[in-house]
Amino acid sequence: MKLSILDQTPVFLGETTAEALQASKELAILGDQLGYVRYWVTEHHDLDHLACPTPEVLLSYIGAHTRRIRLGAGAILLPHYQPYKIAEIFHTLATLFPGRIDLGLGRAPGGSAEATSALSPRFLEEVRKMPEKVDELLRFINNGFAKDHLYHNLQAKPVPNHFPEPWLLGTGKKSALLAAENSMSYAFGYFMSDQKGKELLDTYRTNFAGESPYSILAVSIICSETQERADELAHWTHVVNEFRAKGKTTLPSVEEALTVSLPNDHTSKFISGTPKIVQEKLQDLQEEYQPDEFLITTITPHRKERLTSFQLLGEVLIQG
């Protein structure tokens, strides 16, 4: 089973954003040692509980401390940026870490309305231009402009020996079709989507313009040595999400969270359990969705519990 890591750089209870970034380095090193395929960093802006607005900066730091694992953004929010600049950034990363760089693209704002306005005053217009921006970015990466194009003689330097692998991330039909039409690998955000996603992945594969479609299913998992502890940590995660949705900034401990009741369907897409239980649930998803790989995100109260979760999964599901 191919497993990868999606790191949202959470700020753990009692820690700072600086410590959260160091925790990301620790997780990437662990993933490198255990055999995870790739390590992706999300992009979020002006959020107190998530520490990374600049995946490309964190990836350069992570790359210097790892040897094998692929590194990427999950995702660069392209409506905020010009394709040429993104191509330059990821060509630089691909030059520094040859054969290891993924360029994941998304269209979400990634933060508050104020942050979105500060980054991209015409954000909705840029979202509508997403297909054109993706096409332009791919041409900069592959040096693929026609001879009569304005940018025919323009290169995104440095030009790496191994180009970054482009991905499209999404939760809807538009993203699935856009990935297929551009022969891009596709990551479906199962854990954050209201849709089940099987039809989207089928749409992606059916309309794929190339020969080898490749898909990832992104899932939220907490793994522990006992089912009881895994469920307690999962309950904490859902309570914290409820608190943040209501604008609360003071977060509960696990013990405090366990006193808060939640709706019966709050865990419908969340996986928690021992390694064996998680493996069984992933196998069920494998049969239903047929992804080529799973991308795992895990948020716990403390960094040690997150490391333990990935450690257990790596030892059982990857190393066997």
Q: pLDDT per residue over 137-169, tens digit each?
A: 999 998 889 999 999 999 999 999 999 999 999
Please give the pLDDT value at position 246: 86
pLDDT mean across residues, the chain = 95
> CA-to-CA distance for 22 and 308, rounded, in angstroms?
16
Please give the pLDDT value at position 34: 98
Please give the pLDDT value at position 16: 97
Q: What is the share, in percent, of the chain residues with pLDDT greater than 90?
A: 90
Cβ neighbours of residue 20 under 8 Å, at least 6 residues apart?
9, 10, 11, 12, 51
- Cα-trace Rg, the chain: 19
Q: Answer yes or no: CATH 3.10.129.10 is held by domain 3-318.
A: no
Residue 235 clears pLDDT 60, i.e. is over it: yes
Categorize the per-residue pLDDT at 247 as very low, low, confident or very high, splitting at 50, 70 and 90: confident
Residue 255 clears pLDDT 70, i.e. is over it: yes
Structure tokens at 9: 């750089």
Residue 196 clears pLDDT 80, i.e. is over it: no
Q: Are 141 and 78 in contact (CB under 8 A)?
A: no
Q: pLDDT per residue over 112-125, tens digit each?
A: 999 999 999 999 99
